[in-house]
């Protein structure tokens, strides 16, 4: 490949948390030399040990040989400060989800790095343009949203800011391919493609807990459809406390009825798999989610305290509300030009969110149902439950033409 200004051979990662560790391994596995920096030297030291242990485990499992493991470890070096990484081609920031913190880091990096270096954020939802705006190189700023665990999950959302250049996007796509990722380009909006769609899907699941369902019933319905795991199993895996702490820090959202079950669980120290209890119970050393009647009792108490008249909610209603919430938000993402195609949205859900492969993704599933039918079902939900079910304009337009999302 001919040398271009954006030929990525040397990279740096800022942040030695869980995501930083996975991203460092993705780069090292792809043959990229990586410098690693964190403002906590002890945390960086622990992270370097953890990466070495992960490779050693891979050797024991027979997935890679010792020579390859040694070569990958040799590509990773610690850097004491930002000045030490000034000659890299790409920096990926993977620190806590706080806009001001990220802006501070990008401002500092912009002043130190060579002019042709690319600056990327691993943010899962924050405004890429607001991050780019503090630099003098907004055309070379973009989002590279890896999914956890980054060295295992295939999906990479490449987020184009308003000013991100085509050459920088192309370089990111080439890097994604080198890392063995399924890369999808997304426009800049809160949550991008995947997490923006996840929000209404999870909101419906949480509402149904208050209306009459229990976590194990919601998860069983969605896992019966073919999802790798339902929303409450998913929260137990990622940690229920992440959103709880984010709401606390932001000082907003903690009073919403839908998050009260989460709040009570967190107040009890039930953070999910990592603490042995969350929406489910986990025996020591086990990842097996076990139905916990204490959680059912907690859900009952919370919903009754909020004044809900509970009713029986069957698997059909659970599927209908969760799937149509995904599809309707996906249609809005498509009509706004955030996603380039319905197929891209499906790739995100198949590779990042455990959507059943045999269903082809949420948009392909909707096309299989027929958009005229989807439109009618959304209108029915709007009548029963309110304006948030108003069908996306694109669904009505395509249904009227007898087309599917694939023809949008």
The CATH number given to whatever domain includes residue 370 is: 1.10.1040.50
Which entry of 57, 145, 281, 388 is annotated as an active-site residue? 145
187-230 pLDDT per residue, tens:
999 999 999 999 999 999 999 999 999 999 999 999 999 999 99
Question: Residue 145 catalytic?
Answer: yes
Percent of the chain surpassing pLDDT 70: 99
Distance CA 303, CA 207 (A): 10
In-domain check, residue 216: no
In this prediction, residues 339-359 reach a mean pLDDT of 97
In-domain check, residue 104: yes
pLDDT for residue 317: 98
Of the residues 156, 186, 216, which one is the last residue of a structural domain? 186
Predicted TM-score of the model (pTM): 0.94
Per the structure, the complete domain to which residue 168 belongs is given by: 10-186
16-65 pLDDT per residue, tens:
999 999 999 999 999 999 999 999 999 999 999 999 999 999 999 999 99
In this prediction, residues 166-170 reach a mean pLDDT of 96
Q: Can you give the length of the chain in residues?
A: 408
The CATH number given to whatever domain includes residue 108 is: 3.40.50.720
User: Does one domain contain both 31 and 174?
Assistant: yes
**pLDDT of 3 over the 80 cut:** no
Q: How confident is the model at residue 151 (pLDDT cuts 50, 70, 90)?
A: very high
Counting DSSP H helices and E strands in the chain, the numbers are 17, 8
**pLDDT of 6 over the 90 cut:** no
Q: How confident is the model at residue 312 (pLDDT cuts 50, 70, 90)?
A: very high
Is 363:327 a contact under the CB 8 Å cutoff? yes
Of the residues 130, 163, 186, which one is the last residue of a structural domain? 186
What total of structural domains would you count in the chain? 2
pLDDT for residue 23: 98
Of the residues 133, 153, 186, which one is the last residue of a structural domain? 186
In-domain check, residue 256: no
**pLDDT of 2 over the 50 cut:** no
Percent of the chain surpassing pLDDT 90: 94
Distance CA 168, CA 162 (A): 13
In-domain check, residue 232: no
In-domain check, residue 272: no
DSSP letter at 281?
A: B
Report DSSP letters for 43-106, one per residue. HHHHHHHHHHHHHHHHHHTTSS-HHHHHHHHHTEEE-SSGGGGTT-SEEEE---S-HHHHHHHH
pLDDT for residue 4: 55
Distance CA 177, CA 117 (A): 19
Distance CA 408, CA 395 (A): 10
pLDDT for residue 22: 97
In-domain check, residue 370: yes
Mean pLDDT of the chain: 96
Q: How confident is the model at residue 84 (pLDDT cuts 50, 70, 90)?
A: very high
Among candidate residues 359, 259, 371, the one with its CA nearest the CA of residue 324: 371
DSSP letter at 35?
A: E
In-domain check, residue 328: yes
In-domain check, residue 63: yes
């Amino acid at each position: 490949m001919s040398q271009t200004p954006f030929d990525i051979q040397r990279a740096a990662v800022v942040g030695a948390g869980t995501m930083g560790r996975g991203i460092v391994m993705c780069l090292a596995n792809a043959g990229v030399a990586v410098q690693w920096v964190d403002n906590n030297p002890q945390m960086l030291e622990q992270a370097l040990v953890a990466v070495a242990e992960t490779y050693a485990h891979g050797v024991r499992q027979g997935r890679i040989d010792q020579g390859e493991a040694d070569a990958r470890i040799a590509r990773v070096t610690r850097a004491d400060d930002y000045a030490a990484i000034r000659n890299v081609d790409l920096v990926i920031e993977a620190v806590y989800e706080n806009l001001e913190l990220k802006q501070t880091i990008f401002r500092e990096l912009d002043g130190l790095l060579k002019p042709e270096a690319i600056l990327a954020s691993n943010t899962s939802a924050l405004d890429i343009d607001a991050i780019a705006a503090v630099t003098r190189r907004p055309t070379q700023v973009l989002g590279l949203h890896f999914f956890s665990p980054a060295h295992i999950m295939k999906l990479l959302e490449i987020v184009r800011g308003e000013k991100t250049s085509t050459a920088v996007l192309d370089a990111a796509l080439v890097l994604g391919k080198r890392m063995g990722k399924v890369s999808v380009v997304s426009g800049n909006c809160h949550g991008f493609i995947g997490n923006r769609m996840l929000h209404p899907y999870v909101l419906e699941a949480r509402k149904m807990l208050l209306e009459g369902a229990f976590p194990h019933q919601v998860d069983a319905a969605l896992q019966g459809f073919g999802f790798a795991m339902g929303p409450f199993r998913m929260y137990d895996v990622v940690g229920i406390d992440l959103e709880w702490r984010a709401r606390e820090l932001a000082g907003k959202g903690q009073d919403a009825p839908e998050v009260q079950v989460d709040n009570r669980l967190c107040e009890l120290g039930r953070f999910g798999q990592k603490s042995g209890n969350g929406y489910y119970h986990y025996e020591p050393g086990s990842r097996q989610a076990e139905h916990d009647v204490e959680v059912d009792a907690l859900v009952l108490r919370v919903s009754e305290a909020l004044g809900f008249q509970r009713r029986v909610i069957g698997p059909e209603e659970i599927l209908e509300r969760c799937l149509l919430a995904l599809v309707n938000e996906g249609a809005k993402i498509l009509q706004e030009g955030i996603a380039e195609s319905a197929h891209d949205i499906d790739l995100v859900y198949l590779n990042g969110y455990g959507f059943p492969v045999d269903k082809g993704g949420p948009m392909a599933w909707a096309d299989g149902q027929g958009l005229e039918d989807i439109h009618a079902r959304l209108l029915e939900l709007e009548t029963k439950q309110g304006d948030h079910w108003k069908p996306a304009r694109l669904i009505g337009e395509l249904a009227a033409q007898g087309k599917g999302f694939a023809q949008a």
